[in-house]
Chain A
């Protein structure tokens, strides 16, 4: 699973 740090989506 791959995810950016900090949530850019609301």
Chain B
């Protein structure tokens, strides 16, 4: 555990909780892509199956359980409790275009051809693109609530911090995981355009709106 890793995990946790609180407090999930949230629930479910097979640490187990629990709670709020506020007309990204190729790639490029390892690889690849329905929704409506942009910013920071974590681990522990690193770089790149808008607009007190 290093400072980048810990800060990354906490940033990830902050993102998840910001989103849950936003939906809960405003009693609305307008502007949030339910499809992205379903993909994240799928990511955590397929990645953390090792909860059942191996124990790493209390921290590890606690965070995994919290991530999974929050992901399903978010999906529940969007599709059940506050379904009436869900922006289904704009949330039209075709997730099969992500899940099917990612599933195929997980079968072809993995560390070990075993069910758990393939599912872990699937979750890594899927996480790197799971935010696309959310970014697509924002590009369709042309704007995002400020709190939603804070959520996205924390998610992007989490991934960027993990990149620093891997650089650290490579130098000090000789550890590297090519699958995680390549997927992590792709994921971080997807946030770059958003980071730019966040810094130039949201941090200056303006609402994030895209030119028509």
Which residues of A are at the interface with B, using a C-beta cutoff of 8 A? 1-10
Main secondary structure, interface of A, reads loop
B60 and A1: CB pair below 8 A? no
CA distance A6 to B48 in the complex (A): 10
CA distance A5 to B111 in the complex (A): 11
A6 and B9: CB pair below 8 A? no
Contact of B177 among A3, A5, A10 (CB under 8 A): A3
User: CB-CB < 8 A to B177: which residues of A?
Assistant: 1, 3
Contact of A1 among B50, B67, B162, B178 (CB under 8 A): B178
Which residues of B are at the interface with A, using a C-beta cutoff of 8 A? 5, 9, 12, 47, 50, 54, 56-57, 60, 63-64, 67, 111, 120, 162, 165, 174-178, 180
A10 and B9: CB pair below 8 A? yes
Contact of B12 among A2, A4, A7, A10 (CB under 8 A): A10
B50 and A7: CB pair below 8 A? yes
Q: Can you list 17 A-B pairs with a CB-CB distance of less than 8 A? A: A1-B176, A1-B178, A2-B174, A3-B111, A3-B175, A6-B50, A7-B120, A8-B56, A8-B60, A9-B5, A9-B165, A9-B180, A10-B9, A10-B12, A10-B63, A10-B64, A10-B67
The closest CB in chain A to the CB of B165 belongs to A9
- Give chain A nearest CB distance to B9 CB in angstroms: 6
CA distance A1 to B181 in the complex (A): 12
CA distance A5 to B54 in the complex (A): 9
